[in-house]
Amino acid sequence: MKKVVAMLIGGLFVLVLSSTAFAGQRNYGCGLGTLVFGETDALLSQTLAGTTNGSFCSQWFGITSGTLNCNKYKSISSNEKINKFVADNMDNLAVDIARGQGEYLNTLVVLMDVSESDRAALYSKLQSNFKNIYTSDDVTSIDVVKNIEFVVKS
């Protein structure tokens, strides 16, 4: 009897592990369910993972702490690519923000990972807050990034 139970548990374990080898959709986010049920396209596994995540509120903890396969929120100013881009393109970016459109502004929002549907509103928001972003002629790129972050969050 012990052998049968051990074989069933072993078979189930192999089945679960093999299904995670074919990483698929992540319709259920991050959290405890993601760790327990893995990443799989199987509807049952995704349903159980989502239910587990919701039942134990593990996504809240995971996002806050950066654990449970969740990415901790990172501020715009901590992104090195954004900092370098703004530092290298201060003048051109200022022109685009003032106009509310342009290649440099588009590149910035792509680096910020803003969805296409939200970009027009962000362009307008940045344009209307230009004086709060470029506060003086000798403003630094670090200040510009922090000011953009403040405007985006407000």
The residue extents of the domains of the chain are: 12-65, 76-153
Contact status, residue 46 vs residue 20, Cβ threshold 8 Å: no
Whether 128 has a pLDDT exceeding 90, the answer reads yes
Q: How many CB atoms lie within 10 A of CB 98?
A: 16
Tokens of 4: 């049968």
What proportion of the chain, given as a percentage, has pLDDT over 70? 71
Mean pLDDT calculated for residue range 121-145: 93
pLDDT of residue 127: 95
133 phi and psi angles, rounded to 5 deg: -95, -55
What proportion of the chain, given as a percentage, has pLDDT over 90? 38
Residue 131: which of 122, 139, 119 has the closest Cα? 139
- Per-residue model confidence as pLDDT tens digits over 1-21: 777 777 778 666 665 554 444
Give the distance between the most distant pair of CA atoms in the chain: 80
Mean pLDDT calculated for residue range 118-132: 93
